[in-house]
Each structure stands twice: as structure tokens, then as C-alpha cells.
A and B are shown apart, each in its own frame.
Chain A
């Protein structure tokens, strides 16, 4: 550690306990199908949080699980379901039948959600766009307002800034001060970190500050924005983490098949969340052979860049 850079390393249990109270607006799944913070979501479920507003472009099955567990009163997202299998059944039950509780849905598109976070990251009240003109999303989402451009006569949509209470971002590596490096597709991760009041970084690896400093272009979340750092290897399973493990496609399909009915979901959440006190026991339940199949088969290292002078 550099002098003055206090360690923010805490357990997942403590990070959620301290930074994600009931009623929070939480953004997760910022990198779309990669690096979804499932371990964090499961800890939120175990700690029984209520009335959360979930914010994300798509979330694959994480939002579905948190909705099914009753943690959520509102979803502001572009897409809620199961990316490779289709519908999210908990999302459907909540919207259609208020099971386990009613949720409000605020339908965005990927672009409007990105712009909402970008506006907050930029510190302005809205960002203009053409998308959603003519759509029913524009009519039904109060955060999208049509206006006339002040510099020409065009019609535009103002996307209201969205400032979540906390962003939970899974990354490949970070130092203990929260300087976080991630690579691959970034989705809305950078804007999510800057837009949110607090950031929890969940990292596959904790590395020395010298490692981070060796490649500052790859540091996409500067540590001073970060409230807590959690070291949680495999914390994004079943979603992939480039360079660490692949996507567990079968897991998504099993979830799809097993959660079609409410009692099936209740069994699923008991097995994979409620009765799994930590990621270690989750990983044991997953089994070595399944994990081995997801490990990187062939590493593909980039060529180092030269910061010398």
C-alpha cells in the first residue's frame, strides 16, 4: 500500500451490510453478459434487503433472482430475462401477478439507460437522443421527455440523469485502495461507477498497487470513487470473466427450466443462495469438475505496452 491509501478490503457480507441498505437504488450488471456480480446479489438476498430499485441495461438472471427473492420494488432496465434461454419467470410472476410482491417497471433501452448514467456521470440533468421517438417506451417512461432542440428545430428525447446510491461492479483485478482494472466489453461500467454515490468493487484478484500503476489506461475505476473492495474469485459465476472463466451456459438453462414454477424457484434459491453462506460453499456445491470445464483453456495474453520515457 502507498502511504495514505487505506485498504478498503472487506468481506462481501460486510460490504453489503454497510453499503446496501433496504430502499437503495443499486446498479449491477453494467458489463451486460460479462462480469455480473452474482455473489453480491446473493449476499443482498441473504441479508433480506427490501424495496431495492435495480438499475442496469440487462442483468441476465441476476435481477430475476433478486425479484423472485422479494428484494425489489422497482426495476429500471432495458431488458430483464435470461440472455440465452429467454424469459425470466420471476420477473413475469412479479409483474403479472405481484408474486412475491408487486414491482414497478421503468422500461429503458440500452442506449437510454447508458445515457441516463452518462448524464449523472457528467453532472448534467439529462442527455439528448433520437432513440425512442415514436415508441411506447417514450410514452410510458417518465424519465424520457420529448423536447425541441434549442440549436435547431429537431425533436429530441431528454433522458433524465439517474444517480444510483451504489454501483456494484465485478472486475478482473483491483488493488486494496479500489483502483480497478477491467477489460473486455465494458458496457456501462465506467459511467455506472461515476454516476453512483458509492461503488463496491468485487475483484477476481487483489493485486499490488504497482501492478495497477504499470498500465493506467486499464484502470477504469479510480480508487477514490470506491467505498469497498471485495476479493471474491468466481464471484460472477455463471457469467463469464474474460481471462478467468467462461460462461456456464448450462447453469442458465437449468435455472430457466427449474424456475418456471414458483415452487421450483423456491427450491433453486434455497439450494444456491439461502443455504450457501459464502461463495466458498457455493463453489463447493458447483463442484470441481464443473468449474474445471469453465477455466481458461488457452490463455491469450496481450503484448505489454511501454510507459517508459
Chain B
């Protein structure tokens, strides 16, 4: 299965999740307001802050705002290290209000399922034909509805990248271009990228996702056969840049035991 493994992994240079963290970090631009979320994006925020986006500010829906990455690995956004030396600790509405105003540039989400138009499902899953109750939205629907750009991270397989989600927990582009406007969602909002274990998907003018880059060592055929719809491929398909030494150093400083970045 070496073709599905990033080349770096084969030589032990970095894991797939480290590659995803670096890709996620590059979605954050300097000076931006970022709705950070949990797990890999928490590390990505630290990477962006310490490399190309020192002026980014992190918002957490529990009420925390940080100008610096947390000093220790976080398991949840409410972990004590995330509050220590925060620039602000307040209530949920004080950060969600910034999101609703349209001030938040980019928000990160995970999902059980994402579809060709970037709609997300974290409410009802399907395992071997059985309906499985998942935890629900949390703040995901809010972030997907209201942030200028939404970036999703998830494992790439046909169970997760589906033609149509069974339940729209968090709206993407609905049924295509124009749908968000019809629903009344803010004009400057919507899905921007899907970072998977195999590549990075972005959205065309019609609101449908296409393959923009493949991770090192992954073939386009692999991506297509692991996607639950006929995925379009960019004419100028790129290879996802490998994490550089500086990015890897920060990732491993934040997550030294590879709790979130093992595989």
C-alpha cells in the first residue's frame, strides 16, 4: 500500500496527519481571525502563529481568545493551558457574535461525512446500513454558516466523502452555486477547502468540490476510487507541499508524543 502513503511517511520523515496539519496551517493568513476548533486544527493554529502568520488571532467558542498558541497540547479547548495567558476569557456569545458579524476569516471543522457540495454531517452516521447517532453540531453549524471560509479535515474514504450527506448538520454549498444566498446565509461565507488524508479539495464556481492537490505518494486514481462521487480533478493539479522543517519542528513541539498526529 505504499502508493497510498505519503512518501515522507515511508521514510519516517512525517506522518499523514502532520502533513494535514501543515496544509491546514497554510489556510491561515497573517492577521486573520481564526475559529480554531479541536484536534489537528489546534496544532495548525500553533504552526501558523509560529511560522507565516504571527499576527493571527485564535477564537474558541467556549469564550477564549488567544494571540499566542497554548503552551501545552490541548485535548479540549477548555483545558487549563488554553486559558493561561489568553488575551481574553469571556462567554460564548462574545466570540460567536464576532462570527455572526462576519469578522471571522476562517473556521476549521471535522466531520463524519462531507458531500460534493461541502455539506457536513455530524449528527447521523451510517455503519453497515445501521443508523448511528453521532454527537451533533456543537459549534460546527455556526462556523459553517457564518465564517468567511470553512476548512474541513477528515479521513479520505467512500464512507466519509459521499455524494450527498444523509443529514445536513452544517451547511456547505447546499445543492450548488447560489444555494447559500437562497437560504439567507451571509454572502461572505462558505466552504473553502477539504483537507483529507489523500489530498486537498477546493470548490469550483458552481459550488462543487474538485481535487486541487494530492499528497505526496498518493495517486489521483487512489483519490478517485476512495471518493463517493465522480470527483473532478483540477487541470493544474498540484502535489500538496510537504511540511517543511520549521513546520514539523512546531508540530512536534506542540504534540511531542504524537497524540493527535501519529498516523
- What residue of chain A has the Cβ atom nearest to residue B124's Cβ? A136
Give the shortest distance, in Å, between B41 (CB) and chain A (any CB).
15
Tell me, yes or no, whether B252 is within 8 Å of chain A by CB.
no
* Residues from 145 to 182 in B contacting A, C-beta threshold 8 Å: 145-146, 167-171, 174, 179-180
Give the shortest distance, in Å, between B29 (CB) and chain A (any CB).
24
Residues of A within 8 A of B84 (CB): 300
Are A130's CB and B78's CB within 8 A?
no
CA distance A80 to B134 in the complex (A): 8
Query: Is the interface on chain A under 10, 10 to 19, 20 to 34, or 35 or more residues?
Result: 35 or more
CA distance A134 to B180 in the complex (A): 7
Query: Is the interface on chain B under 10, 10 to 19, 20 to 34, or 35 or more residues?
Result: 35 or more
- Among A92, A191, A240, the residue within 8 A (CB) of B78 is A240
CA distance A183 to B133 in the complex (A): 34
CA distance A114 to B96 in the complex (A): 9
Give the shortest distance, in Å, between A122 (CB) and chain B (any CB).
11
Please indicate which of the listed interface residues A83, A131, A247 has the most CB atoms of chain B within 10 Å of its own CB: A131
Are A185's CB and B137's CB within 8 A?
no
Give the shortest distance, in Å, between B132 (CB) and chain A (any CB).
7
Q: A78-B136, A79-B136, A96-B133 are in contact. Are A109 and B141 (CB under 8 A)?
A: yes
Tell me, yes or no, whether B256 is within 8 Å of chain A by CB.
no
- What residue of chain A has the Cβ atom nearest to residue B136's Cβ? A79
Tell me, yes or no, whether A25 is within 8 Å of chain B by CB.
no
Tell me, yes or no, whether B68 is within 8 Å of chain A by CB.
no
Are A111's CB and B139's CB within 8 A?
yes
Q: A109-B138, A110-B139 are in contact. Are A131 and B145 (CB under 8 A)?
A: yes
- Among A87, A108, A133, the residue within 8 A (CB) of B145 is A133
Are A136's CB and B168's CB within 8 A?
yes
Give the shortest distance, in Å, between A245 (CB) and chain B (any CB).
9
CA distance A84 to B38 in the complex (A): 9
Residues of B within 8 A of A108 (CB): 137
Given contacts A134-B185, A247-B75, 5 further A-B contacts (CB under 8 A): A87-B134, A87-B135, A136-B169, A137-B123, A184-B89
A selection of 10 A-B contacts at a CB cut-off of 8 Å is A32-B78, A78-B137, A80-B135, A83-B75, A110-B137, A111-B100, A111-B139, A133-B183, A247-B78, A300-B85
Question: Could you tell me which B residues sit within 8 Å of A by CB distance?
Answer: 38, 60-64, 75-80, 82-85, 89-93, 96, 99-100, 123, 130-142, 145-146, 167-171, 174, 179-180, 183-186
